[in-house]
Structure 1
């Protein structure tokens, strides 16, 4: 039986409502249309109060299958919770930085921009790499011929003008 659409799962569960005060943003492969059967739903939040964020997650998600939560102290890592909703693995990240500045959302926005500019050809090439087992950022990096750390290489595209991105895409996809 196929999984319900990720937005249906989020709506039915009430997760985004429960996290509303932490500015939740859904990211990752489902909103990009790059998900595979095992893909998860990522929710990125701003958690300036890690204890309140952890308590909110515990109260909401601890009854769900596979629930785990990790909260570190004084090392800058986000609070991370994992659990399952209607056949979907879910990961929720709470970092004290505003969501727009967090690497997870920055990667997501760059990938969305690349897909908008690269169209079907880019989507098909990235999906082929994903089917071969690559994670999303390494798949984009391979298709685009980016060298080095794929996460850093994608962030380097953030300030590149659209015209330059289109030239790069045309060179990679022809």
Structure 2
């Protein structure tokens, strides 16, 4: 029986890809499920960037990664028209997101930060409950919203928790996990 080689950790993949150094001019931040410990075999590595000049960002991404397998780059039509690129490198799919907003203001980063806080406060049992929903097919934000009993659009509902301090988040977790 032939064994499939395991892909490296996301941290090793980031280091080997050189993505953070190659995109340093765009303030790259790693987000998404791998750094949260919620990744599945099909999960990608999300890199959020501040790209006030989308063409400059696209040129930098093209120059750095166009030779990687499955490379694609496109620009969204809505909002402030962020640039997105995907490629495969060292066993992982990378998704680069360049938006005119500073990373700290981007919705993806804001979701990531609130999810980090909730996982830290909720502990291993909460993380495992999220993973059970993910393994059953749920996306990350809907899984959080379901466990927390948040109504409506899960992406918008999670952002409503953002201003809560840790005591407020812990109270929300306690109410939801009773």
Shift of 1:77: 2.0
Structure 2 gaps of 5+ residues are: none
Aligned residues: 174
Superposed displacement of residue 81, structure 1: 0.2
* Partner Cα separation in structure 1 for residue 25 and residue 168 of structure 2: 38
Residue segments in structure 1 that go unaligned for 5+ positions in a row: none
RMSD, matched Cα: 1.3
| TM-score (norm. length: structure 1) | 0.96
Look up the match of 2:92.
Answer: 88
Q: Is the 8 A contact 1:137 1:154 kept in 2?
A: yes
Contact 1:126–1:139, Cα closer than 8 Å, also in 2: yes
> Contact conserved, 1:137 with 1:151, CA < 8 A, in 2?
yes
Q: Which runs of 4+ in 1 moved over 2 A?
A: 71-75
Question: What do the CA deviations read for 1:84-127 (whole angstroms, capped 9, x no partner)?
Answer: 11121110000011100000000000000000111112101100
> Quick check: 1:133 aligned with 2:137?
yes
Task: Report how far residue 74 of structure 1 moved.
Answer: 8.4
Q: Conserved in 2, the CA contact under 8 Å of 1:45 and 1:99?
A: yes
- 1:22 paired to 2:30: no
Q: TM-score scaled by structure 2? A: 0.94
- Relative distance call for 1:74 and 1:135 in structure 2 (3 A) is closer
Find the counterpart in structure 2 of residue 165 from structure 1.
Answer: 169
Corresponding position of 1:145: 149
Deviations 1:31-51 (A, max 9, x none): 000001000000000001111
| Contact 1:121 1:173 (8 Å CA) reproduced | no
- Distance between the aligned counterparts of 1:37 and 1:73, measured in 2? 30
